[in-house]
Amino acid sequence: MSFLDTAVDERPILSADPDWWRGAVIYQIYPRSFQDSNGDGIGDLSGIIHRLPHVADLGVDAIWISPFFRSPMRDFGYDVSDYRDVDPMFGTLGDFDALISRAHELGIRVLIDLVLSHTSEAHPWFTESRSSRDNARADWYVWADPKPDGSPPNNWLSIFGGSAWEWDGERMQYYLHNFLAEQPDLNFHCAEVQDEMIDVARFWMERGVDGFRLDTVNFYFHDKELRDNPPLAAEDRNDNTAPSVNPYNFQNHIHDKTQKENIAFLRRLRAVCDEFPDRTTVGEVGESQRGAEVQAEYTAGNDRLHMCYDFDFLSGQAPTGEFFARVLTRTNRTLGDGWACWAFSNHDVPRHPTRWHLNEPALRVMTGLLLSVRGSVCLYQGEELGLTEAYVAYEELQDPYGKRFWPKFKGRDGCRTPIPWVRDHHHGGFTDGKPWLPLAMEHLQRAVSLQYNEEGATLDFYRRMIRFRKAHRVLAKGSLEVTASGEDHIAFIRAHEGVRMFCAFNLSGEGMSVPAPEGSWKQDKGAPFRAEFNEGVVKLPPYQAFFGLEGNGA
């Protein structure tokens, strides 16, 4: 079959399963760069519909679509000016309804990216709020008077650089923006704001979406007293939330985000989701100092979020076995009955083959590891092709974040370049016009057309590894216990309903032996890896993995 053929084996209509999200594989689509259908150089909803068979063939459970709402696009959709409509550059509400219908026909659930913490400055709510101090929406945003000397109310910093406060000459006050100045923060201490956001969630669920990825979910509330953040010791700083060149990392952000009031709102949001069958939520936790603890707080019990992810595996931390073991063990210890969601790449960080300096064999064993840990998994578009970070010249840069900190931080455009669908097209089959970002020429050698029917290609590897994960319920639902780790390896046991699976990964270019834990292990050769198992010892060639079963699955 050619990848151009749109006919695929359609799966049965999605059956009811309130637990489908637990262990699901979710494919993130950044719509601007997925597929353009009208030649304007920008991907759109019709383009996504056209390429859904590729996603279905990959075998994932759901897609997550980055924002497509009306927006001035100062932050490319993460600055919303109308939560209940599609921006014309992406299509119409009718196109979105058609996307939902087609995805469900193919057995794919649909999550959309809800950006609730802030809006665009062009949103009518903000226009009204800034017009006076006594209008109907005067307190829908976070306004504060200046200090006596005219300076901002406190020392809070923006993730995009500089003060988190912007002076407004019309209202003669500062307003809070944790991101761009064009992205004013909503005031969740205002009950009407909460009510409105609950109604937004209900609007999209009534249109058939299966859940939400919640952008910056721990930024909804701020400290009402506007207290200064304390400094953070140099040894405690990391680049999980902001790049190292950004002084945002110099503060301990205990007052401008992750406030206790957020739990009550998350309960309200979960309650409205529970009005609809089989819906889910995954929250993005931007918290450098205690991400795992916040994940646990936000996913505890059955009345908050279903799952959360933080930035441990999206950071520049060297991906050693010891690093993975430390993160997974800490998560086990803190998460309790909560649930994690993991990703190596997304639209905000350099693609992980480049970020972690991975060759092709290393990329594959890392992917095998990602698809074997406890939790759900997000894959970023192009990851299944083995795409590397693209170079984007300053003259072609679109990302305001990159322009702010160039050249030490080049922004997020390098992971957002268009998907190469065919090799013999100078824009990779993404568009017939000029793409909004240039397609990386080296990516043409990894085009879908080249890999689609090639046994052993990166795309084939992803299909096989996802299929292997789905064939073993223990990998999707089971517990995890780390049994061994070192600079170049990690091993753990997954267990679920009487089945145990021993997983061992060689993360190095040298062969090694790893002793298996006590048990009657039987090697499962269904995974796209090779290893030898004899007398309780696993022999792992370079960048290979072992999977052994015990119990009902052996």
Active-site residue numbers?
215, 275
CA atoms within a 13 Å half-sphere pointing along the CA-CB vector of 531: 34
Determine the distance from the C-alpha atom of residue 516 to the mean position of all C-alpha atoms in its chain, rounded to a whole number: 33
Nearest to 437 by CA among 145, 43, 15: 43
Quick one: DSSP state of residue 162? S
Nearest to 543 by CA among 514, 513, 515, 510: 510
Q: What are the counts of helices (DSSP H) followed by strands (DSSP E) for the chain?
A: 13, 21
Residues contacting 115, CB < 8 A, separation 6+? 67, 69, 77, 78, 79, 80, 215, 216
Burial class (CB in 10 A: 0-12, 13-18, 19+), 2: exposed
Angle at which helix 321-335 crosses helix 291-299, to 10 degrees, equals 40
Nearest to 307 by CA among 284, 326, 324, 287: 284
What does the DSSP assignment read for 34-74?
T--SSSSSS--HHHHHHHHHHHHHHT-SEEEEPP-EE---S
User: Whole-angstrom Cα distance, residue 384 to residue 344?
Assistant: 12
- Is 176 in contact with 142 (CB distance < 8 Å)? yes
Amino acid letter, residue 177: H
Nearest to 124 by CA among 189, 196, 44, 68: 196
* Residue 377 backbone dihedrals phi, psi, to 5 degrees: -135, 135
How many residues are given for the chain? 554
- Is 119 in contact with 67 (CB distance < 8 Å)? no
